[in-house]
Chains A and B, each alone.
Chain A
């Protein structure tokens, strides 16, 4: 595959920076999020939650709550236990012997994290429900809590009294153990690093919300939810609550961001459904922000040990990784699988012959973890990119040079990775070159040396991160080999209406990504219509019954491909009708800008709009042709896609205060062909800041008893505009050979690349003082102490 440094020529709208069609509704306040829906007669649910990380539930008394004004019902976990036909779903039992504790939407005997539900109260208003919830009397017997991940792994304290060990599973990927041993035995240089991936709170700006409306006379349940996964949710709600799937319609209205946190099946969704069924009334729930910190999944939460075996020039011969992964208290939808999404990528962009990966999933008495933007891949990229810098320091080489020495060369694609994947296409050195040029790398190194020489107290650091990710989740057969219980395909339908307008039905479910814009661009070019004439229907299982939703940078490469294939099938049918009308052979027709014309006789032509009308009237169709122009496709990818790139962060570190300022940032990403570079830019910007957040600001902090201390935005520091620079973006274009549009995916790239770039930059600024590691988030205090610890007497902390 060739790589180009600029956007390719755009024949139609694909490839242009078309403004988003979603924006006017969002900008004018007319968009409707779930909290905005007006549902007459809806009752408000409030969940009573455990204040203990681990406790036995001795009794739950709802009598005072029931006597409270406006209250319609109040239930303990025991009173609701009969509502559940199966436990809360986990779709990814990664090993045959994986342990999973009993997990019901409302706990019955034992609560296992602060925030675990113990009762639900339903009242006429939100305020009345809140007042009544405070009147629910729960008696607990506190139990010891397993809080720290490594301590929990020792089984000193058990997170669940019914389980004999906190170990959920151990999963290994060791293709050739002897080869790894040989590489380490023969290594001139080895690096052994330990990194902590702190827990993160996804913090989508819209908290979650649910409203379940039972239709009259035993009809269906309409479930409005702020979810990324209406289709998966429908199936799982049906299985868990025992409602026939076809009687559940899930609608995701405008959804205010997800980042993986809305890629789940939550207790509150099941509760609203069960209570609506029981009370025969609409029941709604709106999450509060401090509630979200505990009741919505967390991300990351790993202790990583990574070892590199290298020769004297820093060529890496083997990578060996051991992980502890914090599951939290329960296994949510894909909790155990998150580390596996990184398991294949700990050698990063480097051509490493020998590879070994082991991960142990561990229960703790904390909020469950699950997929958060990047899911496993940011952790992997962090470990290898930090370790490569450690290797560079050890051999005294420039980190960009060590990367170059190890890159998988462009002529080696498709590349069979040591972990067993086939990387589709790549040109890692081109992206590195472009990023270094964009940031002005040589000048920065000179400035850095100058400041050090002058004894400046504001030091300069430059951090590089070269990444590759596996996206486009996912080939169904590969998911089968990983024990995931569903497939990875996506479905689409394209239909032309009698007036020549187009409807696209997609199984992808956007929550900020601009699918309506991108999907209409793809179809507009295929059918020769304006994007404004393409209506995109999504996120409602009644209009889009088939789909696997939006996560894992899959929507374009899988869902977009399904749309392109469906459009091609529609064109195939239209071609037969055009040939019939023009009295020529179908293969003599060419399609351009929505017009079929006869090759060599351009005056003989017929447009798709005319054909759509004729297919609709069906007055004169070829024998056997069905009316209407409509086609569907379900696309199961044959491989993942592998976007890549290099990001460079520049920081200033104040040695007297420890304060880190991110002053410049350059990102060169390669996501294959781009449908809309404007949207790609936005995804990169936002991704970078979530990665920067992990590096510098964000951490879900627990005390020793398992209380979450960071439940508000005053404690949990989502980055603000004032803490960030503007970004310099560049792009290389190496199309994917895995799908017809040559696209890869961009939703997670920024987050994956940014965290190690920033931390590498901070360590780089201080490396001459002997600083090699600072735990994330890299706070001023940690920086200041690391300076003092590494170089006593240089003015830093102790």
Chain B
């Protein structure tokens, strides 16, 4: 079936299998491999992207369901000249990543969270990110990075 979707500001149109999940559309059809697959039960959040500015787990929706919508992936966060988005920069400044596999999904989850909670408490950050698992950082520095990004007023793109 034909799917037309705006991804990182660019309109894409492809004929895809009806059963194709959004994450595989992004990874295999568009070649946007920054969005990772870490589980098969919508638990880990490695595949988190923004759908019309709100975080969704792209392993849990069909590409067809994104027809006519706007998607932002991790590849769309930095500016075209390579300057990291303030959330990405906060993760770097606060050592909020190690192996990096959960990181794209985590950054997207933070972007969506901060849009809804521009001035969060630590407890709100922890609750807000509980759908995204990280096995390396123990979350400490991810929370610090999120709070720092909030202080800088880093909203979603």
Contact = CB atoms under 8 A, between A and B. Distances in A.
B32 A29 contact: yes
A686 interface: yes
A33 B98 contact: no
B140 interface: yes
B135 A686 contact: yes
A730 interface: no
B91 interface: yes
A29 B74 contact: yes
B150 interface: no
A664 B61 CA distance: 38
B124 to A, nearest CB: 10
A36 interface: yes
Contacts of B103: 26-27
A204 B92 contact: no
Contact of B138 (A30, A685, A712): A685
Interface string B34-75: 111111110110100000000000000000000000000111
Contact of A29 (B75, B82, B132, B142): B75
A685 B135 contact: no
Contact of B136 (A257, A288, A289, A678): A257
A466 B74 CA distance: 41
Given A256-B36, A289-B40, A720 B130 contact: yes
B32 A685 contact: no
Nearest to B97: A26
A225 interface: no
Nearest to A676: B95
Interface in A478-514: 511-514
A724 interface: yes
A29 B35 contact: yes
A38 interface: yes
Contacts of B75: 28-30
A690 B138 CA distance: 8
Q: Is the interface of B mostly helix, strand, loop or mixed?
A: loop
Given A19-B93, A206-B101, A726-B140, A30 B41 contact: no
B78 interface: yes
- Looking at B43, B98, B138, which has the most chain A CB atoms within 10 Å of its CB? B138
A27 B138 contact: no
A712 B38 CA distance: 11
Contacts of B36: 33, 35, 205-206, 256
A27 B38 contact: no
A327 B41 CA distance: 29
B92 A205 contact: no
B140 A27 contact: no
Nearest to A19: B92
A205 B135 contact: yes
Interface of B: 27, 31-41, 43-44, 46, 73-75, 77-78, 82, 84, 88, 91-93, 95, 97-104, 107, 122, 125-127, 129-144
27 contacts: A19-B92, A23-B92, A27-B74, A28-B75, A29-B75, A29-B104, A31-B34, A33-B101, A205-B135, A254-B99, A256-B38, A256-B101, A257-B136, A512-B99, A512-B100, A682-B98, A682-B136, A685-B137, A686-B98, A686-B136, A713-B41, A713-B43, A714-B43, A721-B134, A723-B130, A726-B143, A726-B144
8 closest cross-chain pairs (CB), A and B: A29-B34, A26-B100, A256-B101, A512-B99, A713-B43, A685-B138, A689-B138, A29-B74
Given A19-B93, A29-B32, A686-B138, 12 more contacts: A27-B104, A257-B98, A288-B40, A289-B44, A681-B95, A682-B136, A685-B141, A688-B138, A713-B133, A714-B43, A724-B139, A750-B138
